Amino acid sequence: MTGGGSSMKSKQIMTLVGMGILTAIVIVLQMVASAIHFGPFSITLVLAPIIIGAALYGPGAGAWLGTVFGAMVLLTGDAAAFLAVNVPGTICTCILKGLLAGLAAGAVYKLLEKKNQLASVVTAGIVCPVVNTGVFLLGCLVFFLDTVKEWGAGAGYENVGAYFLFGFVGLNFVIELAINLVLSTAIVRILKILTSPAGAAR
């Protein structure tokens, strides 16, 4: 009983430490990313640590890290243009897109990890930016459609759908997806190290 309790406590401590480190990484990466712009928005660099956290500690951990990401988007000024239009809508969109992206990545990874770890990481790496961008676009449709139409017209787009795809978030999404796919093998190596008996002992 004592050994089992000690082992469980040690595992809980390791989880807290791991989550603390990943949370710090998300915060730092988002601060760095806020200065890197492709099109009207900064590129998202935090999806890899969100996927790692979701894979190591479950969908709930992915949701937490995604929520931290969403909060940092608000705090770093990335959402300033939207906050000027609709504060509640901006907060809701930023928090939900990160939370749901992390939750979905964790759920997909857990569903597939026993079949093939690389496939589960690649799939989670695809799902995470898809959900992140999808919820963002949904938030724009619900809270900011008139504003986005004005931006599109100002950029020379007659069709708001075309602006969404080619002038608004299209390039960012492709870059984020490519980064995740490129990092997939590295993420698998990290997971194997951290989940191996030697890695767990650390």
Q: Does the pLDDT value for residue 107 go beyond 80?
A: yes
- Sketch out the chain's domains with CATH numbers: 13-201 (1.10.1760.20)
Please report the pLDDT score of residue 202 as a whole number. 46
Q: What is the pTM of this model?
A: 0.84
Measure Cα distances from 10 to 22, 25, 48, 112 in Å: 18, 23, 26, 27
Q: CB of 145 within 8 A of CB of 123?
A: no
Weakest mean pLDDT among 7-11, 39-43, 84-88, 196-200: 196-200
